[in-house]
């Protein structure tokens, strides 16, 4: 019982209530041990327990009005087992020793039912045992920042967009705090706290006479970090510029479709990396485990180590340690320590993302019997499975600036910010558009264009990359709500990249595409 | 310990007790309470074997408190007396920190919520892990010896929702749902087929029959002939139609139309309400009384579910008004598209194919995203069974395509409809939908997708 203490509150009372709550809640290790013992007694050969509390704070505004301020909190535990060679899982919001044992027995019963239709017994890769804790490095806990500061920032952002020329502006903030405890029959007990912060806006300009409207969203990106990341962005200044650019887009020249060179800023390129590199290098996809919804992958296991994915200047690194990364953790959700590894090395596809179940499936090719640590579950109520780490395009140590890359283009487009995105279910054919598309003529960035989208085939696109910018152009973008699995779970993941140039890409005019 | 409530314990009496407890703890001018409990399980399978599965239950309480025009909202899953009192206090703290909302609407008084027929089927609520495994096993058995690998997903849930507020409104509804889909891929990776459904009644599941549909499509699409992108006549199976209808219904917001930033905005101001935007064969409505599409008894706003006609004979007949915008425009607020029913004609899918000289048969769409909100242009792809029709027969499979098309344009080109059936495709959204197959004169495919 909480004895009437505030469940959630701002300022010091929140810290106090959380400390007291931790004292009043049952000992996590005691609960976890009850589940693990009960699972083994019921016939499980492996079990893990996750006890977690997830907090969210969401603010939404438009123009001079705060539409909603909402806080959500969910607490519970999930028990996963292997019994009869099959997975079983059960979850409950009741975190007690008795419920832990009941859940464990239920998870074993689920596994035993599934064992009748399982093709091969689950075998887990070896893992080291840890007693450890980890926390996202933050300067300002977003849940401690007074709401009035956030409200002021949102309303100032909207006002600036209207001042810049927008007819409307909507903005919002979304903060997450995940307190996660993990224990397994391997002997690990791991405590982690993850923080994520996101601020955004969209300015829209309307020309009532013609009935035309155009929008321009922020180039700000969600991060694994605290409120300081929003304070540093400069939302009001960007919003004023965005309001003017939304208005400018109404009168902008409509793009001439054709084959053009593209220079893509990190605020745009991160999403292309996410869809065309992050997802196809998921091993569960490649082997058909996501075939029923998310799809499979053109990067089949026979291509591992030899397939030419892109040009030799293109290397992609998976990185669960990246500062500011949304998928950055100390340990994954099955107790594997976070690390880094290459997925594409100098243009060649060399590795996948793996979990403990998956590592052995390709160990004969990779020589690595250990998991890369990409197991993740959104909540206590979700079973963990393979999810994307931060996947980054490495900068060229000798790479130049955005202007340097633009300088090498005679007829092309410079694109900033992510907009529409779509890719097929094997990750070949994609189409993207941007918030801002600037014409490049004779090596110079010129006027704003509208109605721009580009289409490409993944390995052809990355093979057309002839320049990657230097570390000075590197920035982090990210997906706050990346869906995968059935039932669909949301993951948050970042993608760092420098500016990059691509030759001869098919550009569409989205107004003339309908014949 | 945490005080929680198993979803099965959320009786109408218990729901009233929780609502009263929240209202008693509240000091705000207005308090609104929503309770949602869900209990159920799921099973995934792939490569002809079970993968992950689980059984989960949870109960959440959402509390919105308002002082004057300042509102704060909190949602928790701990429902003990102290936890609820603490949640109320936090919601009130948020309300005090919030600016006045000039658009705040007073709470709804007592509403009459419809008794949605067949919304709750005990047989669906009672499905357990063993029955899920047997159902998946029947589908996997259908794949054996057919040179295909089957992947699929079965999920069932019992949902209980309650609503109450300080103005005396009260509502309680219990319902069930079940979703099943499976994808067959030939072992050489050359062919793929899909079938899926969303139901309230588990007795209509038939996993082996649904597996056979996916398997036959996979085998039939194993050998494809290349087809160039272009504008083709199409026969869209109901799942593909669901994607287009879903895009339309998501974009019916009246305020955005009035503000000039919707495909329903008219040049010079005003909206396209009353204009014929679609083929005169297209009538789309929402009706909670539909036995094949039973759903929620009230909308998120608390407005009772009722019949709403969105398009009649291709003419836009209703826009979606929230309570505030409805008050500004002096119209009735709408509960939104809680389900989607599209009228059909007395034809089968085979009849539509028979009446097609040359065109494409599309099983379903994938990864649909908006490209241009002005024209409602979207892009997406075909997958899991794309076939060429020649002289009234399915002639052969063809490659998949990326398309760029607007549901407005596509549904303006309708030539023929089949009898409606329930569908279940995540790409269409998971509100219940009962839709026909559609034969349409033109659909724009802009590039080839090598994906199978």
Q: Confidence band (pLDDT; 50, 70, 90) for B428?
A: confident
Q: Write down the pLDDT at residue A15.
A: 46
What are the φ/ψ torsions at residue A125 (nearest 5 degrees)? Answer: -65, 155
For residue A129, give the 3-state DSSP assignment. coil
Check A508 against B50: CB less than 8 A apart. Answer: no
CB atoms within 10 A of CB B216: 16
Check A117 against B450: CB less than 8 A apart. Answer: no
Q: What is the DSSP string of A173-223?
A: EEEEEEEEEEEETTS-EEEEEEEEEEEEEEEEEEETTTTEEEEEE-----B
* Burial class of B222 by CB neighbour count within 10 A (0 to 12, 13 to 18, 19+): buried
**What mean pLDDT comes out for the span A132-159?**
98
Q: Is A259 on the interface with B (CB under 8 A)?
A: no
Q: How many residues does chain B have?
A: 452
pLDDT digits 0-9 by tens, A446-475: 999 999 999 999 999 999 999 999 999 999
Is the separation of the CB atoms in B245 and B435 below 8 Å?
yes
d(CA A110, CA B179): 19
Is the separation of the CB atoms in B44 and A486 below 8 Å?
yes
Is the separation of the CB atoms in A171 and A198 below 8 Å?
no
Q: Say which of B59, B136, B451 has its CB closest to residue A426.
A: B451
Query: A19 vs A25, A57, A417, B45, CA distance in Å?
Result: 10, 20, 41, 42
What's the gap in Å between the CA of A92 and the closest CA on chain B? 6
Structure tokens at B195: 């079938």
d(CA B422, CA B432): 7
What is the sign of the dihedral through the CA atoms of B443, B246, B394 and A426?
Answer: positive
d(CA A176, CA B28): 27
**What mean pLDDT comes out for the span B375-392?**
98
**Burial per residue of A454-480, b for 16 or more beta-carbon CB atoms within 10 angstroms, e otherwise:** bbbbbbebbbbbebbbbeebbbbbbbb
Structure tokens at A219: 């180039």
Is the separation of the CB atoms in A133 and A331 below 8 Å?
no
d(CA A5, CA A193): 22
What's the gap in Å between the CA of A396 and the closest CA on chain B? 31
Is the confidence at residue A432, as pLDDT, over 50? yes
**What mean pLDDT comes out for the span B280-300?**
93
d(CA B199, CA A427): 31
d(CA A233, CA A47): 44
pLDDT digits 0-9 by tens, A177-213: 999 999 999 999 999 999 999 999 999 999 988 999 9
What is the distance in angstroms between the CA of the first residue and the CA of the last residue of chain A?
A: 65
Contacts of B267 in chain A (CB under 8 A): 209-211
What's the gap in Å between the CA of B319 and the closest CA on chain A? 18
d(CA B379, CA A431): 8
Is the separation of the CB atoms in A495 and A394 below 8 Å?
no
**Nearest in space to B310 (alpha carbons), one of B156, B445, B433:** B433
d(CA B38, CA B159): 4
Is the confidence at residue A6, as pLDDT, over 50? no
Q: Confidence band (pLDDT; 50, 70, 90) for A2?
A: very low
Check A428 against B83: CB less than 8 A apart. Answer: no
Q: Confidence band (pLDDT; 50, 70, 90) for B335?
A: very high
d(CA A328, CA A183): 20
Contacts of A113 in chain B (CB under 8 A): 129-130, 132-133
Q: Write down the pLDDT at residue B421.
A: 95
Is the confidence at residue B279, as pLDDT, over 70? yes
Q: Write down the pLDDT at residue B430.
A: 61
What is the sign of the dihedral through the CA atoms of B75, B79, B80 and B84?
Answer: positive
Contacts of B261 in chain A (CB under 8 A): 167-168, 204, 206, 213, 215
Is the confidence at residue B144, as pLDDT, over 60? yes
d(CA B54, CA B37): 17
Q: Write down the pLDDT at residue B8.
A: 75
Residue in B with minimal Cα distance to A485: B44
List all residues of chain A from 288 to 307 with a beta carbon under 8 Å from chain B.
288-293, 295-296, 298, 300
Q: Tell me chain B's radius of gyration from C-alpha atoms.
A: 24
Structure tokens at A484: 């995968």
Is the separation of the CB atoms in B149 and B178 below 8 Å?
no
Count of A-B CB contacts under 8 Å:
318
What's the gap in Å between the CA of B113 and the closest CA on chain A? 26
Check B90 against A506: CB less than 8 A apart. Answer: no
What's the gap in Å between the CA of A111 and the closest CA on chain B? 8
Q: Is A490 on the interface with B (CB under 8 A)?
A: no
**Nearest in space to B7 (alpha carbons), one of B136, B144, B160:** B160
Is the separation of the CB atoms in B371 and A509 below 8 Å?
no
Q: Confidence band (pLDDT; 50, 70, 90) for A400?
A: very high
Is the confidence at residue B2, as pLDDT, over 90? no
Q: Say which of A107, A289, A513 has its CB closest to residue B46.
A: A289
Structure tokens at B391: 């002289």
Q: Is A458 on the interface with B (CB under 8 A)?
A: no
Q: Confidence band (pLDDT; 50, 70, 90) for A5?
A: very low
Check B266 against A211: CB less than 8 A apart. Answer: yes
Q: Confidence band (pLDDT; 50, 70, 90) for B424?
A: confident
pLDDT digits 0-9 by tens, B30-68: 999 999 999 999 999 999 999 999 899 999 999 999 999
* Burial class of A145 by CB neighbour count within 10 A (0 to 12, 13 to 18, 19+): buried
Query: B155 vs A69, A292, B36, B38, B136, CA distance in Å?
Result: 32, 14, 18, 12, 11
**Nearest in space to A314 (alpha carbons), one of A193, A171, A120, A465:** A465
What are the φ/ψ torsions at residue A369 (nearest 5 degrees)? Answer: -90, 0
Is the confidence at residue A1, as pLDDT, over 80? no
Check A426 against B452: CB less than 8 A apart. Answer: yes
Structure tokens at B413: 């080109």
List all residues of chain A from 327 to 366 with a beta carbon under 8 Å from chain B.
none
d(CA A94, CA B35): 17
Q: Write down the pLDDT at residue A11.
A: 38
ipTM of the complex: 0.96
Mean pLDDT, rounded, of chain A: 95
Check B402 against A25: CB less than 8 A apart. Answer: no
Check B83 against A506: CB less than 8 A apart. Answer: no
Q: What is the DSSP string of B18-72?
A: HHHHHHHH--SSEEEEEEEEEEEEEEEEETTEEEEEEEEEEEEEEEEEEETTEEE
Helix then strand count (H, E) for chain B reads: 10, 20
Is the separation of the CB atoms in B352 and B436 below 8 Å?
no
**What mean pLDDT comes out for the span B266-274?**
94
Query: A360 vs A206, A353, A364, B374, CA distance in Å?
Result: 56, 12, 8, 50
- The enclosing H or E element of B190 equals none
Check B3 against A65: CB less than 8 A apart. Answer: no
Is the separation of the CB atoms in B101 and B64 below 8 Å?
no
For residue A16, give the 3-state DSSP assignment. helix
Check B444 against A514: CB less than 8 A apart. Answer: yes
Q: Confidence band (pLDDT; 50, 70, 90) for A514?
A: confident
d(CA B421, CA B347): 12
> Is-cis flag, bond preceding A487, omega within 30?
yes
């Amino acid at each position: 019982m909480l004895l009437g203490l505030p469940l959630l509150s701002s300022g010091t009372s929140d810290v106090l209530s959380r400390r007291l709550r931790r004292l009043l809640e049952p000992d996590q290790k005691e609960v976890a041990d009850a589940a693990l013992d009960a699972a083994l007694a019921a016939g499980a050969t492996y079990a893990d327990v996750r006890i977690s509390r997830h907090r969210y704070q969401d603010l939404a505004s438009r123009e001079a009005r705060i539409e909603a301020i909402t806080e959500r909190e969910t607490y519970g535990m999930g028990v996963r087992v292997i019994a009869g060679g099959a997975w079983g899982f059960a979850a409950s919001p009741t975190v007690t020793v008795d419920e832990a044992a009941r859940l464990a027995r239920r998870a074993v019963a689920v596994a035993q039912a599934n064992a009748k239709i399982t093709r091969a017994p689950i075998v887990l890769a070896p893992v080291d045992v840890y007693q450890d804790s980890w926390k996202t490095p933050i300067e300002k806990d977003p849940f401690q920042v007074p709401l009035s500061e956030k409200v002021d920032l949102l309303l100032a952002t909207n006002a600036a967009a209207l001042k810049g020329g927008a007819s409307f502006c909507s903005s919002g903030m979304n903060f997450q705090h995940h307190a996660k405890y993990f224990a397994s029959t391997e002997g690990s007990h791991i405590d982690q706290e993850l923080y994520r912060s996101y601020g955004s806006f969209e300015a829209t300009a309307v020309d009532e006479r013609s009935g035309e409207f155009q929008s321009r969203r922020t180039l700000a990106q969600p991060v694994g970090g605290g409120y300081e990341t929003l304070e540093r962005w400069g939302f009001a200044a960007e919003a004023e510029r965005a309001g003017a650019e939304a208005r400018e887009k109404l009168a902008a020249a409509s793009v001439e479709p054709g084959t053009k060179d593209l220079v893509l800023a990190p605020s745009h390129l991160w999403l292309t990396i996410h869809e065309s590199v992050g997802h196809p290098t998921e091993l569960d996809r490649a082997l058909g485990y996501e075939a029923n919804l998310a799809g499979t992958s053109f990067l089949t296991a026979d291509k591992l180590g030899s397939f030419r994915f892109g040009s030799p200047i293109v290397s992609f690194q998976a990185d669960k340690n990246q500062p500011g990364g949304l998928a950055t953790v100390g340990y994954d959700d099955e107790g594997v320590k976070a690390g880094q590894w290459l997925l594409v090395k100098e243009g060649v596809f060399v590795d996948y993302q793996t979990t403990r179940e998956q590592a052995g499936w390709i160990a004969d090719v990779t020589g690595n019997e250990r998991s890369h640590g990409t197991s993740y579950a959104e909540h206590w109520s979700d079973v963990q499975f393979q999810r994307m780490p931060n996947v980054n395009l490495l900068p060229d140590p000798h790479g130049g600036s955005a202007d340097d890359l633009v300088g090498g283009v005679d007829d092309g487009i410079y694109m900033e910010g992510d907009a529409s995105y779509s890719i097929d279910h094997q990750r070949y054919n994609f189409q993207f558009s941007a918030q801002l598309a600037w014409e490049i003529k004779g090596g110079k960035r010129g006027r704003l264009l509208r109605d721009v989208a580009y289409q490409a085939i993944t390995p052809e696109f990355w093979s057309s990359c002839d320049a990657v910018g230097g570390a000075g152009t590197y920035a982090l973008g990210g997906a706050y709500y990346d869906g995968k699995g059935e039932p669909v779970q949301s993951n948050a993941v970042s993608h760092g990249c420098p500016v990059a140039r691509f030759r001869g890409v098919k550009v569409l005019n989205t107004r003339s595409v309908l014949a | 310990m945490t005080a929680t409530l198993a979803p099965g314990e959320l009786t109408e009496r218990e729901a009233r007790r929780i609502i009263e407890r929240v209202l008693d703890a509240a000091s705000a001018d207005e308090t609104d309470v929503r309770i949602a409990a869900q209990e159920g399980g799921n099973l995934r399978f792939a490569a002809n074997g079970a993968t992950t599965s689980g059984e989960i239950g949870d109960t959440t309480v959402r509390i919105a408190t308002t002082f004057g025009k300042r509102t704060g909202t909190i949602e928790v899953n701990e429902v003990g007396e102290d936890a609820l009192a603490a949640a109320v206090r936090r919601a009130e703290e948020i309300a005090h920190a919030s600016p006045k909302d000039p658009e705040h609407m007073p709470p709804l008084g007592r509403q009459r919520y419809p008794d949605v027929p067949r919304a709750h089927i005990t047989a669906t609520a009672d499905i357990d892990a063993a029955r899920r495994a047997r159902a998946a096993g029947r589908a996997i058995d259908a794949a054996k010896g057919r040179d295909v690998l089957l992947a699929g997903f079965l999920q069932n849930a019992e949902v209980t929702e309650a609503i109450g507020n300080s103005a005396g409104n009260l509502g309680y509804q219990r319902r069930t749902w079940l979703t099943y889909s499976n994808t067959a891929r030939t072992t050489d990776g050359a062919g793929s087929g899909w079938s899926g459904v969303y139901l309230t009644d588990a007795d209509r599941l038939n996993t082996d029959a649904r597996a056979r549909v996916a398997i036959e499509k996979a085998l039939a699409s194993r050998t494809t002939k290349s087809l160039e992108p272009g504008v083709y006549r199409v026969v869209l199976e109901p799942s593909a139609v669901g994607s287009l209808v879903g895009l339309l219904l998501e974009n019916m917001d009246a305020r955005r139309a009035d503000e000039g930033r919707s495909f329903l905005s008219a040049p010079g101001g005003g909206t396209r309400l009353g204009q014929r935007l679609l083929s005169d064969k297209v009538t789309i409505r929402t009706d909670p009384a539909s036995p094949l599409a039973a759903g929620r008894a009230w909308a998120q706003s608390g407005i009772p579910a009722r019949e709403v006609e969105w398009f009649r004979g291709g003419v836009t007949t209703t826009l979606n008004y929230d309570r505030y915008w409805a008050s500004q425009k002096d119209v009735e607020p709408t509960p939104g598209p809680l389900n989607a029913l599209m009228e059909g004609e007395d034809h089968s899918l085979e009849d539509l194919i028979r009446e097609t000289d040359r065109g494409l048969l599309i099983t379903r769409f994938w990864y649909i995203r908006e490209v241009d909100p002005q024209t409602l242009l979207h892009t997406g792809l075909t997958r899991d069974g794309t076939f060429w029709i020649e002289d009234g027969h399915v002639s052969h499979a063809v490659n998949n395509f990326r398309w760029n098309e607007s549901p407005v344009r596509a549904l303006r080109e309708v030539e023929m409809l089949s009898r409606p059936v329930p569908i279940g495709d995540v790409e269409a959204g998971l509100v219940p939908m009962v839709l026909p197959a559609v034969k349409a004169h033109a659909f724009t495919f802009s590039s080839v997708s090598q994906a199978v």
